[in-house]
Amino acid sequence: MAAVLPPEKLSETHRPTLDRALDAIRSRAYWSPHPEHPKAYGEDGVPGSLGPAEGKAAFDAVLNTRFDLGQPGTDGWVGGETSPYGPKLGVEYPHVDPDVLLAAMRSGMGAWRAAGPQTRALVCLEIIARINARTHELAHAVMHTSGQAFVMAFQAGGPHAQDRGLEAVAYAYEEQTRTPSAADWAKPQGKRDPLRLHKSFTAAGRGISLLIGCNTFPTWNGYPGLFASLATGNPVLVKPHPGAVLPLALTVRLAREVLAEAGFDPNLVALAAENPGEGIAKSLALRPEVKIIDYTGSSSFGDWLEANARQAQVYTEKAGVNTVVVDSTDDYRGMLSNLAFSLSLYSGQMCTTPQNLLIPRDGIATESGTKSFDEVAADLAEAVGKLLGDDARANGLLGALVNPDVKARLEAAPELGEVALASRAVANPEFPDAVVRTPVIVKLDGSGPADGAAFLSECFGPVSFAVAVDSTAAALDLLRRTVREKGAMTVGAYTTSPEVESAVEEVCFDESAQLSLNLTGGVFVNQTAAFSDFHGSGGNPAANAALCDGAFVANRFRMIEVRRQA
Amino acid sequence: MAAVLPPEKLSETHRPTLDRALDAIRSRAYWSPHPEHPKAYGEDGVPGSLGPAEGKAAFDAVLNTRFDLGQPGTDGWVGGETSPYGPKLGVEYPHVDPDVLLAAMRSGMGAWRAAGPQTRALVCLEIIARINARTHELAHAVMHTSGQAFVMAFQAGGPHAQDRGLEAVAYAYEEQTRTPSAADWAKPQGKRDPLRLHKSFTAAGRGISLLIGCNTFPTWNGYPGLFASLATGNPVLVKPHPGAVLPLALTVRLAREVLAEAGFDPNLVALAAENPGEGIAKSLALRPEVKIIDYTGSSSFGDWLEANARQAQVYTEKAGVNTVVVDSTDDYRGMLSNLAFSLSLYSGQMCTTPQNLLIPRDGIATESGTKSFDEVAADLAEAVGKLLGDDARANGLLGALVNPDVKARLEAAPELGEVALASRAVANPEFPDAVVRTPVIVKLDGSGPADGAAFLSECFGPVSFAVAVDSTAAALDLLRRTVREKGAMTVGAYTTSPEVESAVEEVCFDESAQLSLNLTGGVFVNQTAAFSDFHGSGGNPAANAALCDGAFVANRFRMIEVRRQA
C-alpha cells in the first residue's frame, strides 16, 4: 500500500520550513513558524487548526475516556491525573509490558534508518505541524496538568514547545548531513595508479530512546529529546510524569498517526504510562534496549540516571540555584518591574526562575541615588505586590501550584528569615479548588552560615531570597560558588559598570552559565527563545545538556561507513 | 611584549590549510597536507624540516638526557623507557605535583578562551606544522617506544597522526563557529515596537583535559584528543604510557614553544610522566579540575574511567574483537594477500587488526571453484608465509613485539586449537634484542563452546583465528553477537552476493561497526585515513567515540550566551 504521505509530498510541504529553521540556528536571529497568539488558530488562522472552542471541546471529549493508542504489549490501563485547578481528568492510558513493546518498537528501526535524514526530518515536521494545529487542545491539557495559567500553557506548551522540537530536528538534520552520504576517495601513489575506494556513510540510530517527562513543562521540556532522537533514527518511548500524561499522550497519538501515514511503523513512538508510585522510569532506564535517555526533573533522580544507566547516552535537566547579581542600574523602576514579573510568572515554578537576588549590604547606585539593601528589597516587594494586586491579573500570571510540596515549601519559607514580601492566597473564581499563591521574598544574610544553607539549596516554587552581600565582589564570589556547586539554568545581573559587567561575564564563562544583563523591558531572564537562546549550558550541575546545540544531537546516532574498492 | 607569532601571521600561514581541512571533512575525499614519504623531508622537502640524518641525530641527542620542559610543579625526574628493539632510552622526564601544575595550567585559560576559535585553531596548526617538520625525529621516537618498524612509525606516527590532529582541529573549529559570535534578535510585537536583544556567544572550554596515552600509537591515538581539547579552549595535561613517553614529550615541547611564541601561557600544554607502576592516571582522572579525558588502552581501565571519572567527559578507545566474514570472492588471491598483509602489519598489534576470520565449514565460492574451510585456512597461511618469507621484508612489516605480554599470548595460542600457521622468530640484524615474530593462525570451531571462549576474547597481538561456521548466516549471527558483546573497531567481509553484502551492512548498521567490503588491493581493513574514514564508531563496546566526528568535539566546550537589551 502506498503511503498517504510520500516523501515528495512531505518535502513540498515542509522542506522550506526546514530550510528556514536551518538558517535560524545559524544566524540565531528571531524566527518561529508557530504563531503564539491564540487567535491565530481556527478558522482564518493556521490551516486545519482547531480554534478556541474546538480545542476546548476536543480536550473535554478526551476526559474520562480510555486513551487507546493501539500499542502492542498493553497489559492494563492506568491513570490518575488531577488538575492543579481541581478536577480529576479521569483518562486511562495503556500500561505496557516492556518485553513486548520494546521488541515491537525496534522492529521498525531498519526502515526508519533507511529512510535517511531528510525524510526523517520531514516526518518529524509533519508531526509538529499536526501538534501545532491542535495547540488549543494541548493548551488545556498542559494547563490542567502543570497548573500553568491558560495563556502560558498555550504559548509555552504550544508554539514555544513546538519551536524547541523543530529546533532539535534542524540540529539533528544538520548533524547527520555534515558527512555526505557517499564519497569517492583516490589516494595518489606516485607513478602507480591511485588507490580508490567508494565509501558510503549511513546515520544509524543507537536504539530505543526513553523520554522521562516532567510535571511542569511536559511538552516544552519533552519535545527536544523526543524529536532529536526520532530524527536521528531512534524509536522513542515516552514515559510521562504521572501527573502530566495527557499532553504527551496526545503528542504520541499524533506521532503514531503521521508515522503510519508516511509508511513507517507507528510503534516508533509509544507511550509508557504508570500507576502513581510505580517508578517504571527506573526499570526502563536500565533496559539494554534503551540507548538514549532524556530526563527533566529532580537532581537526585537525574544523578541516579547519569550514574546507573551506563548503557545509554543520558541527557538531563535537573535543579539549580538561579542567581541575579544586583550591582547598579540606570533604570531602577524597569529593573524592579522586570524582576517582579520574573519572580511571579507561573508562581516561580520554572527551572529558570531567579531564586537568589544578591544585593550589596551598603546599597546600589541607581539613576535616583543610592538605594539601600532594605530599600531594594522593599521596592521589589512593592513591585511584585502591584503586579499581582488585581486578582484576575494575578491568576493569569501565577497559575496554580503544581503540587502540595510546592505549597509546603512556600509556607515554610517565612521561617528562614525576615519576610520582605508575604505570600497571599488568590481566589480563582473559575476553579475554586486551585491553590494560587503570590511569591514570598525573604531577606537573608549572605555571610550567615545558617542563611547560606537556605539560599544554597534549590527552593522550587514562589520563594525568592534577597541576600545581603558585603560587596559586588562578594556577590561574584557567591555567584561562582553557587553555579559551581549547585548549578544554574540562568544568571542575571544589573550593573552600569563595564568592569562589573566583564567580571560577571568571566564568572559565567568560567562556570558555564547563561547570562542576561540589565533586562528592564519585556524580555525576562526565565524565558529563552528557540533558534536563538540556549536553554541551560550543559556545563554546570543544573543540566548536562543545553537546548539545543550540536552536542545534544551528535551522539544520538553513529555514522557507519561502508567502504568498497572502486 | 608583542607575540612573535601574532594572529595575522598565523592566519596568513595556516588559514588556507584550515579551509582545505574544512572542505575535506565535508567532502570526505582524499586529502593530506603532510607528505608520507620520508624523502619529502629535509633539504628540498618540507621547508624547515629535518631530513633523515638530522632527524636521527636529533633523536640520538635526546637519549640519556633530562627532558626539561620548564613546567611549574616539577617535583622530581622519572623515566625508564626501553625500546622494544632493545636499547634503553635513558631519558628523564619531569614528575609533577598536580596541585601546583593544574593551578598553573588553569591560569592561562581565560586568555586562551578570549582568543577565539580561529586563533586557537591557527595556533594548533602551527604546533602541528612544527611537529611535521620534525617527523624524522618523531619517527625514531615512535619506533623505539611502540616497536613499530621504521616506515610505519614514520607514516602512522608522523603524517597520519598529524592528519588526525588537524582533522580534530577542523571539527573543533567548525563546531565552535556553527553559532555566530553575536546576533541581534528582534521579536515582532504586533503594533508595538519589537522586543530587541543583543546576544553574544562565546565558546568556553570546560577545564583541564587529560590525555592518557597508549604504548602502541602514542601520537596517532593521542593527537585527536589533544588537539580537539586545545582547539576548544582547554588546557591539556598529557599523561603518556610509561613505555612511550618520548613521542608525546617531544610533542608537548613543541606545543609549549608555539603557545609562548603566540603570546599564550605555555602551561596550557604540560606533561605528567610517572614511575612505572605509579598509576597516576587514576588519581589525575578523579581531580575536580579535570573535565575531559581521552584514553586509549585496555577495556578494564577504560570502563573504570567511564564509571568513575564522573566529573569529566570521557572519550575512550578500548579493546574489541575484529571480525572478517568470508562468504565468497571473485579474487581469491587478492583476498588472501590483502588479509595476509592485514594480519602481519605491526605484528597484529593494531586495535584494528582482524582477529576472527569466519569461514563456512563447507567452504566458499571463488573464481576458481569452491574452497573448503581447510583450504582457505591453509592458503591464507601460505600467503602470510610468503609475504614474510624474506627476513628483511618481514622486519619491515612486523616491527617488534611491544611487550612480554604480547609474546606470552602468542606463545600460548597453539594450545587453543589446531595451528594453521605457526609463528616463527625473525632475526633483526640491526637490533639483535628485538623480539620479532610472524603471526600464528589457529583453527577453531565456531560452534564449540570452549573455542568460543577463545575467539570471543581479544587476543591482542599476532594471533588470529580461522573460525569454522555452519553457514554465512551463522557467521552473521556470530558477527552480531561479537560486536554487541565485545565491540569491534573494524569489520571486514568478502562476498560476491548482493544479498549477503546487504545483510552484513545491516548487522553493522544495527550494531554500529565500520565495514570494509571485498578489499583485495592496497587498502587494508586495519587502516583508516583522516578526513575521510571514521576510526571506530563510538557505538559499540570497543570505543565510546569515533575519530573524528561532531560528537568527538561538541561537548569539549560549552557555548555561553550573554544577552543584553538592545
For chain B, domain boundaries: 38-179+199-318+546-565, 323-517
Grid coordinates given for A232: 536521528
Q: Which of B109, B483, B512, B557 to mutate to test the interface with A (most CBs of A within 10 A)?
A: B512
* Residue type, position B98, single letter: P
Q: Residue B110: its chain A contacts at CB < 8 A?
A: 506, 509-510
User: Per the omega criterion (within 30 degrees of 0), is the bond before A548 cis?
Assistant: yes
- Least CB–CB distance from B520: residue in A515, A559, A565: A565
**DSSP strands (E only) in B327-484:** 356-360, 364-366, 369-371, 418-421, 425-426, 436-437, 440-445, 463-469
Grid coordinates given for A225: 529529546
Do B185 and A517 count as a contact with CB atoms less than 8 A apart? no
CA A126, CA A258: separation in Å to the nearest integer?
7
* HEC secondary structure over B96-140: ECHHHHHHHHHHCHHHHHHHHHHHHHHHHHHHHHHHHHCHHHHHH
Say if residue A47 is exposed, middle or buried (CB neighbours under 10 Å; 0-12, 13-18, 19+): exposed
* Residue type, position A376, single letter: V
3-state DSSP assignment of residue A23: helix
CA B371, CA B367: separation in Å to the nearest integer?
10
Chain B: closest CA distance from residue A436 (Å): 29
Sign of torsion, CA A139 A145 A147 A148? Answer: negative
* HEC secondary structure over A415-476: HHCEEEECCCEECCCCCCCCCEECCEEEEEECCCHHHHHHHCCCCCCCEEEEEEECCHHHHH
The pLDDT, as a whole number, for residue A1 is 52
- Least CB–CB distance from A514: residue in B110, B186, B560: B560
Do A563 and B509 count as a contact with CB atoms less than 8 A apart? no
The pLDDT, as a whole number, for residue B375 is 98
User: Contact, A327 vs A500, CB < 8 A?
Assistant: yes
Sign of torsion, CA B50 B51 B53 B59? Answer: positive
Do A516 and B563 count as a contact with CB atoms less than 8 A apart? yes
- Least CB–CB distance from B538: residue in A27, A532, A558: A558
- Least CB–CB distance from A560: residue in B185, B310, B512: B512
- Least CB–CB distance from A558: residue in B179, B183, B512: B512
User: Contact, B234 vs B292, CB < 8 A?
Assistant: yes
Q: Taking CA atoms, what residue in A is nearest to B184? A: A29
Chain A: closest CA distance from residue B443 (Å): 28
Q: Taking CA atoms, what residue in B is nearest to A553? A: B551
Tell me whether domains B38-179+199-318+546-565 and B323-517 share a fold. no
* Nearest one of A161, A477, A500 to A328, comparing CA atoms: A500
Q: Which residue has the cell 581469491?
A: B332
Q: Residue A194: its chain B contacts at CB < 8 A?
A: 30
User: Per the omega criterion (within 30 degrees of 0), is the bond before B548 cis?
Assistant: yes
Q: Taking CA atoms, what residue in A is nearest to B510? A: A204
User: Contact, B451 vs B443, CB < 8 A?
Assistant: no
Q: Which fold has domain A47-179+200-319+546-565?
A: Aldehyde Dehydrogenase; Chain A, domain 1 (3.40.605)
Do B559 and A537 count as a contact with CB atoms less than 8 A apart? yes
* Residue type, position A431, single letter: F
* DSSP summary character for residue B6: -
- Least CB–CB distance from B307: residue in A25, A113, A310: A310
Q: Taking CA atoms, what residue in B is nearest to A535? A: B561
Do B175 and A30 count as a contact with CB atoms less than 8 A apart? no
CA A159, CA A163: separation in Å to the nearest integer?
6
CA B95, CA B80: separation in Å to the nearest integer?
13
Q: Residue B562: its chain A contacts at CB < 8 A?
A: 505, 508, 515-517
Is beta strand A182-189 parallel, antiparallel or unpaired with respect to A557-565? unpaired
Q: Is CATH 3.10.110.10 the right assignment for the domain spanning B38-179+199-318+546-565?
A: no
The pLDDT, as a whole number, for residue A452 is 86
CA A402, CA A434: separation in Å to the nearest integer?
9
The pLDDT, as a whole number, for residue B2 is 67
Do A522 and B551 count as a contact with CB atoms less than 8 A apart? no
Q: Is CATH 3.40.50.1100 the right assignment for the domain spanning A323-517?
A: no
- Least CB–CB distance from B550: residue in A184, A520, A554: A554
Q: Residues in chain B, how many?
A: 566
User: Contact, A493 vs A515, CB < 8 A?
Assistant: yes
**Residue-by-residue DSSP string for A74-91:** EEEEE---B-TTS-B---
Do A565 and B518 count as a contact with CB atoms less than 8 A apart? yes
* Nearest one of A131, A170, A123 to A154, comparing CA atoms: A131
Do A538 and B555 count as a contact with CB atoms less than 8 A apart? yes
Grid coordinates given for B77: 625526574
CA B145, CA B142: separation in Å to the nearest integer?
5
User: Contact, A512 vs A540, CB < 8 A?
Assistant: yes
3-state DSSP assignment of residue B45: coil
Q: Which of A25, A30, A314 to mutate to test the interface with B (most CBs of B within 10 A)?
A: A30
- Least CB–CB distance from B549: residue in A533, A539, A559: A559
**Residue-by-residue DSSP string for B203-225:** EEE-SEEEEE--SS-TTTTTHHH
Do B521 and A565 count as a contact with CB atoms less than 8 A apart? yes
Q: Residue B555: its chain A contacts at CB < 8 A?
A: 538, 551
Do A110 and B555 count as a contact with CB atoms less than 8 A apart? no
CA A507, CA B110: separation in Å to the nearest integer?
10
Which residues, 6+ apart, have CB-to-CB distance to B78 below 8 Å?
A: B92, B93, B94, B95, B273, B274, B275, B278
Say if residue B388 is exposed, middle or buried (CB neighbours under 10 Å; 0-12, 13-18, 19+): buried
Do A563 and B515 count as a contact with CB atoms less than 8 A apart? yes
Measured in whole angstroms, the distance separating CA B17 from the mean position of its chain's CA atoms is 22
Do B310 and A310 count as a contact with CB atoms less than 8 A apart? no
Chain A: closest CA distance from residue B30 (Å): 5
Do B558 and A179 count as a contact with CB atoms less than 8 A apart? no
Q: Residue B193: its chain A contacts at CB < 8 A?
A: none
Do B199 and A533 count as a contact with CB atoms less than 8 A apart? yes
Digitized pLDDT (tens) for each residue of chain B, 566 residues in all:
568 999 999 999 999 999 999 999 999 999 999 999 999 999 999 999 999 999 999 999 999 999 999 999 999 999 999 999 999 999 999 999 999 999 999 999 999 999 999 999 999 999 999 999 999 999 999 999 999 999 999 999 999 999 999 999 999 999 999 999 999 999 999 999 999 999 999 999 999 999 999 999 999 999 999 999 999 999 999 999 999 999 999 999 999 999 999 999 999 999 999 987 899 999 999 999 999 999 999 999 999 999 999 999 999 999 999 999 999 999 999 999 999 999 999 999 999 999 999 999 999 999 999 999 999 999 999 999 999 999 999 999 999 999 999 999 999 999 999 999 999 999 999 999 999 999 999 999 999 888 888 999 999 999 999 999 999 999 999 999 999 999 999 999 999 999 999 999 999 999 999 999 999 999 999 999 999 999 999 999 999 999 999 999 999 999 999 999 98
* Nearest one of B111, B103, B113 to B72, comparing CA atoms: B103
Burial A139-174 (b: 16+ CB within 10 A, else e): bbbbbbbbbbbbbbbbbbbbbbbbbbbbbbbbbbbb
* Nearest one of A247, A265, A50, A93 to A165, comparing CA atoms: A247
* Nearest one of A253, A287, A247, A286 to A101, comparing CA atoms: A287
Q: Residue A538: its chain B contacts at CB < 8 A?
A: 555, 558
Q: Taking CA atoms, what residue in A is nearest to B528? A: A563
CA A119, CA A15: separation in Å to the nearest integer?
10
Q: Taking CA atoms, what residue in B is nearest to A561? A: B514
User: Contact, B164 vs B547, CB < 8 A?
Assistant: yes
* HEC secondary structure over B470-509: CCHHHHHHHHHHHHHHHCCCCEEEECCCHHHHHHHHHHHH
CA A327, CA A40: separation in Å to the nearest integer?
42
Do A204 and B549 count as a contact with CB atoms less than 8 A apart? no
* DSSP summary character for residue A354: -
Q: Give every residue of chain A whose pLDDT is below 50, as ranges.
A: none
CA A123, CA A121: separation in Å to the nearest integer?
6
- ipTM of the prediction greater than 0.95, yes or no: yes
Pairs across A and B, CB distance < 8 A: 188
Grid coordinates given for A106: 525496534
Say if residue A27 is exposed, middle or buried (CB neighbours under 10 Å; 0-12, 13-18, 19+): middle
3-state DSSP assignment of residue B548: coil
* DSSP summary character for residue B241: -
Measured in whole angstroms, the distance separating CA B273 from the mean position of its chain's CA atoms is 20
Do B199 and A520 count as a contact with CB atoms less than 8 A apart? no
Element (H, E) at B291: strand B290-296
Q: Is A293 left (phi over 0), alpha (psi -120 to 50) or beta?
A: beta
Q: Which of A39, A163, A187, A195 to mutate to test the interface with B (most CBs of B within 10 A)?
A: A187
Q: Which of A337, A555, A556, A557 to mutate to test the interface with B (most CBs of B within 10 A)?
A: A555
User: Contact, A264 vs A110, CB < 8 A?
Assistant: no
